[in-house]
Structure 1
């Protein structure tokens, strides 16, 4: 039995980061509330005391559960009878490790925004902290929570595509196509190596594309060759990357991520081609998965239709034809984590069909960024993973 054995009702959740002006903090709070699995009761929502308290008032936290410092929060919440059972970490990348470590060592489950950390050295330290702790660790690669992504995963695992030969994944945006204004907080830390880590676009969105391709296909990477660019003058981190991929077993692939692709909003797209069929999924039209057998017509599989299977339908909330999107996919990661946390309360195993990204996905993502930087520094030479 665990320290939270016997707890009933919603999981008491804390949050570090995600205060005023932080879009991703609001996304996490909405995702956690979506199915009623969590209750936000505590937070250290900003790096400054004044803003942290103001942010806490905005989201309805009691004054005595609003903290100026995450370590203070971890120590006190671990001692409280009604203290938090899990914490969401929605800070810039460089803070993921120090924050997570404080909660993990006190047995508090961690739900961390991606990427895992900004550097490979910190990623290995995070892995050690997770392995030492009895608490669960969840990484919010939310795109793996879309029902039709789960459907694609199931189709490939069942052999419907045959032997996988080609994987094409891209994630294109344009919001960093120009130097951001000084007061653009979200852009400033993402383009700062001290806070973002060694990767720019590769870390911010490239890791999403990397995790999506690996989750859907089940392929294990072998090597990559990366050509990274920083198109905006004065920018030290990459804002565009073209990456060739080799997988164990012989499959080949390409990954393109960019934050300077004019006209693109959130263009995440995955195409997988096997010896029997191919499929295509686009995040901006997430309720549809296109599958085309070799020599046959394209079939459009729609979310929650009779043609879909258990793996996708169990994550569907509403009837066919009613769109589900970004918040619901994020909510699915939180819902899967909730099932794991409730199992953990009683010492029971996590149900077999519960799936969420964890420390392995995080390590793989940071290893991808690290390999891209190493390859690009060697004139796009092939490097092993």
Structure 2
């Protein structure tokens, strides 16, 4: 196998035993055979880090008790990691990413960028000083129909964009959760999640998706944030109105206290010529309605699939693809960029990886929502 063809050596920070998103990243990285997990600092607890490394088949000397030790040693090894996936709670993102970036190791980081805007600015400095690639895993941008929707906007199929409606309701935090619920405990702790609760956890996904598909520039917003569950220190529901520099208007709703909703991310975009509607829970179908004409159903890899890059779909039309494949497409394009960098080439034009810019936009969104809500939902700038 040539240097270009061999799997990229991958490390992971976080994602140990019982961690949900770490397993998702590992599956996504393996789907196309582009990455080989060879090292990890999988938990802040040494005993759990070692047990997690053993469970994943990592060599004992490549299983680390902390990410700094991992970054230092792996950078010195001849066959050390080339990229690292950071899948920790938000407050660890900046410190971990900085250790790897300054040693030239590519970073694939879970969203949001960090837990605070101040840390996000430090992260930005680290990214700008490094020659390494920085990728933020806004995985919904990897869905083939989302890429097609983006192309339709660029091609003018929708005309001038006027209205953007995006929502992401869940129900899993409708009641207070026990302390031993790891996924809930850190997400509802402002010291680890940041000041934004639902806005940071899922609102950033909705905000990113709206901007990714439409290409619009968010200019200002007004937000009404709630913490409905007694004692909760972060928001669990948010209603946000958006103004875009191009003249379009938008509305965003995110909630983790909406019974009957699991992961109901939904996007609707209306222009002067037509409208589109897409939902994450049935991601292989998109409604497209030219004004005055019957609604058309566009399907992944089906008739009318123009604009869906072939490399982002793996099964024939009618066979469902979804969450894991969307994540895998982020890893696939990250691999393409890493491989292109080895030879000084440009990655192909279809690559649309979210990175620092999208991460900073998400952090400004959270910060603006909190500021607006604290001022009785006043309009605030996103700049």
- Structure 2 counterpart of 1:286: 283
Helix, strand or coil for the counterpart of 1:88? strand
Contact 2:165 2:251 in 1 (8 A): yes
Contact 2:309 2:350 in 1 (8 A): no
Confirm whether residue 135 of structure 1 aligns to residue 132 of structure 2.
Answer: yes
Q: Number of paired residues? A: 381
Alpha-carbon distance in 1 for matches of 2:308, 2:128 = 28
Distance of 2:144 and 2:197 partners within structure 1: 29
2:378 is the alignment partner of 1:381 = yes
For residue 247 of structure 2, what is the aligned residue in structure 1? Answer: 250
**Which residue, out of 120, 144, 153, partners 1:147?**
144
SS in 1 for 2:347: coil
User: In structure 1, how many angstroms separate the alpha carbons of the residues matched to 2:131 and 2:157?
Assistant: 38
**Counterpart among 51, 54, 59 of residue 56 in structure 2:** 59
User: Do the aligned residues in 1 keep the contact of 2:145 with 2:308 (CA within 8 Å)?
Assistant: no
Structure 1, 339-348 or 133-142: larger mean CA deviation: 339-348
Secondary structure, counterpart of 1:311 in structure 2: coil
Separation (CA, whole Å) in 1 of partners of 2:310 and 2:291: 26
Report the Cα offset of residue 7 of structure 1: 6.0
Q: 1:350 Cα deviation (Å)?
A: 2.1
Q: Which residue of 2 aligns with 1:268?
A: 265
**Residue 378 of structure 2: SS of its match in structure 1?**
coil
Aligned to 2:120: 123
Name the CA distance, whole Å, in 2 between partners of 1:316 and 1:225: 38
Of 334, 337, 358 in structure 2, the residue corresponding to residue 337 of structure 1 is 334
Q: Structure 1 residue 15 and structure 2 residue 12: aligned?
A: yes
1:2-24 deviations in whole A, cap 9, x for unaligned?
xxx95650000000000011100
Task: Find the aligned partners of 1:319 and 1:311 in 2 and give their Cα distance.
Answer: 13
TM-score, structure 2 length as denominator?
0.98
Q: Once superposed, which parts of structure 1, at least 4 consecutive aligned residues long, lie more than 4 Å away? A: 5-8
Partner of 2:312, secondary structure, is coil
3-state SS of paired residue (2:308): helix
User: What is the aligned partner in structure 2 of residue 228 from structure 1?
Assistant: 225
- 8 Å CA contact 1:304–1:312 kept in 2: the answer is no
Aligned residue for 1:328, secondary structure, equals helix
SS at match of 2:201: helix
Structure 2 partner of 1:166: 163
- Match of 2:365? 368
Q: 1:377 to 1:148 in 2, by over 3 A?
A: same
- 1:321 equivalent to 2:318? Answer yes
CA distance in 1, matches of 2:3, 2:32: 21
Q: Is residue 156 of structure 1 aligned with residue 150 of structure 2?
A: no
Q: Residue 274 and residue 119 in structure 1: after superposition, are their counterparts in 2 closer, same or farther (change >3 A)?
A: same
Provide Cα deviations, 1:161-197, integer angstroms capped at 9, x if missing partner: 0000000000000001110011001100000010001
Q: Say which is worse superposed, 337-346 or 309-318, in terms of deviation.
A: 309-318
| Whole-angstrom distance in 2 between the partners of 1:358 and 1:118 | 16
Deviates more, 1:336-345 or 1:307-316: 307-316
- Paired position in structure 1 for 2:43: 46
TM-score (norm 1): 0.98
> 1:209 is matched with which residue: 203, 206, 222?
206
> Which residue in 1 is equivalent to 2:178?
181
Q: Is the 8 A contact 2:147 2:307 kept in 1?
A: no
- CA distances 1:190-226 after superposition (whole Å, capped 9, x unpaired): 0001000110000000000000000000000010000
Return the offset for 1:312: 3.9
Is 1:193 paired with 2:221? no
In the aligned structure 2, how far is the partner of 1:135 from the partner of 1:310? Answer: 30
Instruction: Give yes or no for contact 1:371–1:384 (8 Å, CA) kept in 2.
Output: yes
Deviation readout 1:255-280 (Å, 9 max, x if unpaired): 00000001111010000000000000
Q: Is the 8 A contact 2:151 2:307 kept in 1?
A: no
